[in-house]
């Protein structure tokens, strides 16, 4: 049977790449959003009848990939624990009632909080500071897992690690580094002592699509499975831009006090590795090289 998919968030940084890959695989996809545009069906996620109308128009999909989430770059926004959460619950309830077999929700590795070492794929409470974005993601994951069990369906909650690549928001670290290099300006940064599990966006998109093959509900980690200090990531990126390390001013700004501490931690990738053929393909150096090449190409176009 052909796996029909609904995808939200197809205009976002990761969603654009997922969309491109699904199209290249000739998988039937309907793109949906709270705000429609050309090629994207507008649905009021807060309105059950609006969702039902779209189901009648396009047919019930086998799988729904929920990447769409408003105000992701404002982690303390109340919308994450109000509107976004309510909309997600409404989608889950309505889609399961109409026969959708699997829902894949994209969360964040930050849901583990300040835990250290190898982060197992467990539905556990985070430690340390937790912002509203994380609270909303955790709440929807719990709700989805409970509803999937009730309806006899599948719910996979992906904890996606720090994803990099061309196409991020204009004020992202990567774009700031690139623009500083273009203008030949020194780059002023925080100490950048925190650690991150970085994954290249192409690997992230492949992992999301591979999650459609899983036969059981649960938490799914998606990252590189390795930790790198942010300072080292910046140095590699800066060097690849052809710039001198002496022009990186670490510690010019303080790390924001409301950020998670981000200790040495990396994701255990057992679920995808043991149940699908997915493996991260791109090393940090290769992903950075491709990112810069795409940024240069975008600048030329």
Mean of the per-residue pLDDT values for the chain? 95
Q: What is the DSSP letter of 171?
A: T
Q: Report the percent of the chain where pLDDT is more than 90.
A: 88
Distance of CA 80 to the CA centre of its chain: 15
> Could you tell me the CA-to-CA distances from 249 to 15, 41, 216, 235, 238 in Å, in that order?
33, 46, 47, 11, 12
pLDDT at 258 exceeding the cut of 80: no
Write out the residue range of the structural domain in which residue 13 sits.
5-165+198-225+269-275
**Residue 214 has which token pair?**
């899983």
Q: Contact 162/108 with Cβ under 8 angstroms? A: no
Task: Name the more confident of 12 and 2.
Answer: 12
Q: Report the percent of the chain where pLDDT is more than 70.
A: 99
In a domain, 255, yes or no: no
In a domain, 150, yes or no: yes
The arithmetic mean of pLDDT across residues 11-22, rounded, is: 97
Q: Supply the pLDDT for residue 2.
A: 59
> Could you tell me the CA-to-CA distances from 9 to 16, 31, 43, 102, 105 in Å, in that order?
8, 8, 12, 17, 11
Number of neighbours of residue 282 by Cβ within 10 angstroms: 20
In a domain, 27, yes or no: yes
pLDDT at 1 exceeding the cut of 60: no
In a domain, 257, yes or no: no
In a domain, 297, yes or no: no
Q: What are the counts of helices (DSSP H) followed by strands (DSSP E) for the chain?
A: 9, 15
246 CB burial (10 A radius; 0-12, 13-18, 19+): exposed
In a domain, 87, yes or no: yes
pLDDT at 260 exceeding the cut of 80: no
Q: What tens digit of pLDDT does each residue of 21-79 get?
A: 999 999 999 999 998 888 899 999 999 999 999 999 999 999 999 999 999 989 999 99
281: nearest Cα among 214, 199, 220:
199
**Residue 270 has which token pair?**
């057992």
Q: What tens digit of pLDDT does each residue of 88-99 get?
A: 999 999 999 999
85: domain CATH number is 3.40.50.720
163 CB burial (10 A radius; 0-12, 13-18, 19+): buried
Number of neighbours of residue 183 by Cβ within 10 angstroms: 7
pLDDT at 231 exceeding the cut of 90: yes
> Could you tell me the CA-to-CA distances from 159 to 16, 108, 109, 272 in Å, in that order?
19, 4, 5, 12
In a domain, 96, yes or no: yes
Q: State the number of CA atoms in the 13 A half-sphere of 300 facing the CB.
A: 6
Q: Helical H runs in the chain?
A: 13-24, 48-58, 83-97, 132-151, 173-182, 201-210, 230-240, 270-275, 284-300
Contacts of 169 (CB under 8 A, 6+ apart): 13, 73, 175
In a domain, 175, yes or no: no
Q: Supply the pLDDT for residue 282.
A: 98
Which pLDDT band, with edges at 50, 70 and 90, does 129 fall under? Answer: confident
How many domains would you assign to the chain?
1
């Amino acid at each position: 049977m052909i796996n029909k998919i609904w995808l939200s968030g197809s205009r976002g940084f990761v969603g654009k790449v997922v969309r491109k890959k699904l199209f290249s695989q000739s998988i039937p996809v309907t793109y949906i959003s709270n705000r429609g545009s050309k090629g994207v069906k507008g649905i009021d996620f807060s309105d059950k009848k609006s969702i039902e109308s779209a189901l009648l128009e396009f047919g019930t999909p086998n799988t729904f990939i929920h990447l769409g989430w408003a105000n992701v770059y404002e982690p303390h926004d109340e919308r994450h624990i109000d509107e976004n959460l309510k909309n997600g619950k409404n989608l889950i309830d309505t889609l399961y009632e109409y026969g959708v077999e699997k829902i894949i929700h994209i969360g964040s590795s930050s849901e583990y909080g300040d835990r250290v070492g190898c982060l197992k794929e467990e539905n556990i409470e985070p430690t340390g500071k937790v912002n509203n974005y994380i609270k909303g993601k955790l709440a929807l994951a719990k709700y989805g897992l409970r509803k999937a069990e009730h309806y006899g369906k599948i719910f996979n909650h992906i904890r996606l690690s720090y994803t990099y690549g061309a196409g991020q928001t204009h004020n992202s670290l990567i774009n700031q580094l690139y623009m500083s290099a273009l203008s030949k300006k020194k780059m002023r940064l925080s100490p950048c002592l925190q650690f991150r599990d970085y994954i290249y966006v192409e690997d992230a998109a492949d992992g999301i699509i591979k999650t459609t093959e899983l036969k059981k509900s649960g938490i799914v980690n998606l990252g590189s499975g390795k930790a790198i200090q942010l300072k080292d990531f910046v140095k590699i990126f800066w060097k690849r831009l052809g710039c001198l390390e002496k022009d990186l001013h670490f510690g010019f700004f303080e790390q924001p006090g409301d950020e998670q501490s981000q200790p040495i931690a990396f994701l255990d990738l057992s679920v995808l590795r043991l149940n699908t053929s997915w493996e991260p393909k791109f090393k940090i150096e290769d992903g950075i090289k491709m990112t810069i090449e795409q940024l240069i190409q975008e600048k030329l176009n």
